[in-house]
Amino acid sequence: MRKAIAWAEISGDKRLQDQLPPSQMRDATEKAKGNREGAAKAVRLAWSHILFPVKAAAPGVAFDLDQLSIATKDRAAIPAAVYEKAGPRGDGIEA
């Protein structure tokens, strides 16, 4: 995240745009985009569980929260992994 933020600031700095050659500005813009995508991917890969509501066993409680691990071999996107685990093909939890 720090690299993504730093490259975004460099590529968006008006003073630097006036001082640097166009090739270096293009490089900074590409690095900003690459680091932003890398940070987003790292956040998605960091997710390892989903939380979902279930009917509460105790009276007076609206619902309880349960969890499932979504660690997959292919590390699919979070919505796909959640659907696979919680959907009709998964562990039988109705989403």
pLDDT of residue 92: 54
Statement: the pTM of the whole predicted model exceeds 0.75: no
Low-confidence residues of the chain: pLDDT under 50: 95
| Segment 45-70, tens digit of pLDDT | 777 777 888 888 778 888 888 887 76
pLDDT of residue 95: 43
Q: What is the dihedral of CA 18, 29, 23, 17, to 10 degrees?
A: 0
Tokens representing 69?
Answer: 């691990």
Helix (H) or strand (E) holding 84: helix 78-86
